[in-house]
Amino acid sequence: MSQFVAIRRDLHKIPELGFQEFKTQQYLLDYIATLPQERLEIKTWRTGIFVKVNGLQPTKMIAYRTDIDGLPITEETELPYRSEHEGKMHACGHDFHMSIALGVLTHFVHHPIRDDLLFIFQPAEEGPGGALPMLESEAMKQWLPNMIIALHIAPEYPVGTIATKPGLLFANTSELFIDLKGKGGHAAFPHLANDMVVAACTLVTQLQSIVARNVDPLDSAVITIGKISGGTVQNVIAERARLEGTIRTLSVESMQKVKERIEAIVKGIEIAYQCEATIDYGSMYHQVDNDEVLTTEFIEFAEQLPNIKVVRCKEAMTGEDFGYMLAKIPGFMFWLGVDSPYGLHHAKLTPDERAIDKAISLLTAYLSWKGNN
């Protein structure tokens, strides 16, 4: 077992939610402290970390970003290194992302290149969103890179495969929370109450008409309601109900249109069911828009490597707050195949650890080439 697979297993045991990654941050700092420090500069920001590797004769700075938080999911694997934090899991592969970043960092500490490298360990990707405030931090302003890259594990691709494309890769996303307040009452006297369970069910059905009838068929959008809660007991008409979901679109314009239609439909529900409604869009993530030139260059570079298969994939409805960084800094993100039968955010996600060393080799080769040319 390689050193960085072992690190991944250590990190897998201690998943923490956004801006609560205290053990994770300390683990990362402890490892970084074992490396030769002559060319390193380190800054912390909340639970995140910046590590700058000073180049030999720098003409630019290249950044590599990894996310570090876990998800509020109870792990259902039988792995000997499964999560030790009840109700939390690295179910999106951020343990993989961190171990890969440490592997690449370690290589360049021992084998410096001409240009400066910046490693960004970003908290709160899963929520409430760490990329944008980290981008606006003083440390990032002082060390603003000329380009930035990142990866994300992809359970559907085999180990040794990467996938990406120039232009739009991931969608615009927004959380969606709708609270309804009516009038509760006895189940035997429905005419004296305003039933928010019925209102919520009607609202879910009407929301599905937005994509079908308000979004250009040649565009794409998704509205998913993943959770409904309401009521207290079976024979009491519910006074309150809450819908929780997500919106995903392939354009900023479609996101705005979808939200306008949600607000109009919710107003109609208020009138029809004589209730009060509030909408909260929660965390919103900017689309991941890969730089055309840099991504094409990376694809052509990777295609020349003997143990890497490159797939020119289509855009996905996945959300990633790395999009905020790409909106300000040229760069790209790519999928890393990890061949798991279970998908992202699944309680039984089991990525193939052989992908870790392959990713480290790919990235060290690419950054060595890019940082010396």
Can you give the pLDDT of all 373 residues of the chain as single tens digits?
Answer: 899 999 999 999 999 999 999 999 999 999 999 999 999 999 999 999 999 999 999 999 999 999 999 999 999 999 999 999 999 999 999 999 999 999 999 999 999 999 999 999 999 999 899 999 999 999 999 999 999 999 999 999 999 999 999 999 999 999 999 999 999 999 999 999 999 999 999 999 999 999 999 998 888 899 999 999 999 999 999 999 999 999 999 998 999 999 999 999 999 999 999 999 999 999 889 999 999 999 999 999 999 999 999 999 999 999 999 999 999 999 999 999 999 999 999 999 999 999 999 999 999 999 999 999 9
> Domain check: are 164 and 249 in the same one?
no
Other CB atoms within a 10 A radius of the CB of residue 43 amount to: 15
> Domain check: are 59 and 136 in the same one?
yes
Contact 275, 269 (CB under 8 A): yes
As for how many domains the chain has, the answer is 2
> Domain check: are 212 and 313 in the same one?
no
Supply the residues annotated as catalytic.
67, 126
> Which of these three, 262, 284, 306, is where a domain ends?
284
This prediction's pTM: 0.92
Domain extent at residue 27 = 3-168+287-371
